[in-house]
Amino acid sequence: MSKLRFYLKIYGKIIVQDIKSKMSYRSDFIISIIGILLTDASELLAFYITFLNFPSVCGWTYHEMLFLYGFSLIALTPLQCLFDNNWNLRHYVYDGDFIKYCFRPINIFFYFISEDFDTKGIGQFFVGLGTLIYAWTKLRLSVNFISIALLVVALISASLFMIAIMNIAAATCFYLTNSGYVIGTMSKFRDYAKYPVTIFSTFFRLIFTFIIPIAFIAYYPSLVVLRPEKIPILTWLSPVYGIFFFYISYKVWMLGASKYSGTGS
Amino acid sequence: MRIKAWVSLTRASIMEFLQFRLSAFVMFIGNIIYLIVIYNLWKAIFASVDNGIVNGMSFNDTMIYLVLASAQFTFMEAYLVWEMGRSIQSGRIVLELLKPISIEQYKLFGIEGGNIAAFVVTFIPTFIIVQIITKGAIPMGINILYYLIAATLGMLINFSIDFLIGTVCLYTESTWGINIMKQVVVLFLSGAVVPLAFFPSKLRAIAMFLPFQAIYNTPLTFLTTGDLSMFNSLKMLGTQAIWVVVLFALAKLFWRLSERVITVNGG
């Protein structure tokens, strides 16, 4: 327990420094927030335009699809805000700067990840929340303590999956030089998380459930609120599976880091 | 003399692209995954309408349009805004200004070779796969020639917009934000996210007035409709050509005006 408090204290200190240094580029911060909001707005507009022409997608209505989208945006916020440094990992490894993380008496993964708090993810969170609330009221879903509590648990477990995928994708740079395309390709999968996995044939449904588990980012966990009359067993398993998957990705990352031998400089 | 410089820059950028063969392969795999998602998604969407044709677009048309739009994005997007932003921040821009060739030519020929190589390695295989999946729904005739011209002009428009936006980085010190904004606006208004045919009529009218549709919508229209009249085809290509001239001149002018604000700290 004291260890946890120790790490939380360090985390706070590192984050404050990071935010201070980012504040010196204020225009960059504002432009980046606008950029993220525009991205989300274009996605929403795409939904709107599609549903002007078509009544439903595989039995899913406009508002249900919006619910999935809002849910996925919130579930992806922790990845955007807290784990963004994974994008820089390959540069650190390639240039040899990664060695500095190896000389600290704290967990390498923790120290590396905590160094960057990405403020622009906050805009995405509010768009997601707004979309989710809008869809929730339009669908006239019940609001009570249990549904909110289930939603929070579902969101937390959903957020673990994409973080795990990105951890593994980033860790490939310990084994391959110039592996930027791996993380680039894997990050595109988050764009597919907003669709119900039922649109896919069985084969791809299995892949998106067990191998690249993007179906857990929005589809399975949001069924708890969206279709409470028939919740599949996978929905209930998603917190356990999320923790398991995150643990695996952590191990892969740490294994890569332990193989790191520096560049000699 | 000029031409020699162009040719060697083009060659260098082809070689640079070929250095990263694995990356090209992963780009191609990315296209295929996108194809799978788009195929399933739009199959499900089209299952909800009766006659299978909406606003003149069938399922096959939509597939061809969206998958090839994304494949076109992978060979056209050279992340020029990104690169210009970085070379401004790191000060490398100074070296590029010293080259005995104007910066926009240096940049253009430095990317276009990579674009051509990526076209051959990623776009053509994707094209063949789409043709097989849709059972030969892409008409193969004179329109392929039109497509190649339109794609080249589209690439030049894309370059000019990138160069224009990249110049903005001189003022803002922001790269990520500027780049993502440009990407979203270009992709959406060019019809690469949702085909322009599905847009509500007013929004479509606005989009048709802007240069972005000339990057994706014009070339892709040549691939989805084989029976365009000669007059219409030339009109579309002419519009593109006008945009190339206007935007390239604008980008050049803006750079000339902005050049003097460059500040490099040390170096």
CA atoms within 13 A on the CB side of A9: 7
Q: ipTM score here?
A: 0.83
Say what the pLDDT of residue B267 is: 47
> How do residues B59-110 score in pLDDT, each as one tens digit?
888 888 888 988 888 888 878 888 888 787 777 778 888 887 888 888 888 8
| A25 touching B (Cβ < 8 Å) | yes
Closest CA to A71 of A238, A228, A217, A245: A217
Place of tokens 């950028």: B13
Residues of chain B neighbouring A181 (CB-CB closer than 8 A) = 20, 22-23, 26-27
Q: How confident is the model at residue A243 (pLDDT cuts 50, 70, 90)?
A: very high
Spell out which residues of chain B touch residue A57, defining contact as CB-CB under 8 Å: 41, 44-45, 48
Mean pLDDT of A120-134: 90
In angstroms, the separation between the Cα of residue A72 and the nearest Cα of chain B is 17
- Give the global pTM: 0.85
First-to-last CA distance in chain A?
38
Nearest Cα residue in chain A from B43: A199
Nearest C-alpha in A relative to B56:
A53
- Answer yes or no: do A38 and B185 touch at CB < 8 A: yes
Angle at A234 between CA A229 and CA A238, to 5 degrees: 110
Residues paired with residue B230 on neighbouring β-strands, in sequence order:
none
Nearest to B161 by CA among B177, B181, B135, B136: B181
Distance in angstroms (rounded) separating the CA atoms of residues A192 and A137: 25
Q: Is the pLDDT of residue A18 over 90?
A: no
Q: Say if the Cβ atoms of A50 and B45 lie within 8 Å.
A: yes
Nearest-Cα residue of chain A relative to residue B35: A192
Per-residue confidence band for B188, with pLDDT thresholds at 50, 70 and 90: very high
Q: Are B110 and B6 in contact (CB under 8 A)?
A: no
**The pLDDT of residue B220 is above 70:** yes
Per DSSP, the residues of B20-68 read THHHHHHHHHHHHHHHHHHHHHHHHHHTTSSSSEETTEEHHHHHHHHHH
- Asked if A50 is an interface residue toward chain B (Cβ–Cβ < 8 A), one would say yes
- Given the DSSP bridges, would you call strands B53-54 and B57-58 parallel, antiparallel or unpaired? antiparallel
Mean residue pLDDT of chain A comes to 87
Report residue A84 CA to chain centroid gap. Answer: 10
CA distances from A257 to A162, B150, B152 (A): 20, 48, 44
B147-187: per-residue pLDDT in tens? 999 999 999 999 999 999 988 888 877 778 888 888 899 99
Answer yes or no: do B26 and A38 touch at CB < 8 A. Answer: no
Give the pLDDT band of residue B264 (cuts 50, 70, 90): low
**Alpha-carbon distances of B39 from A170, B42, B133, rounded to whole Å:** 29, 6, 10
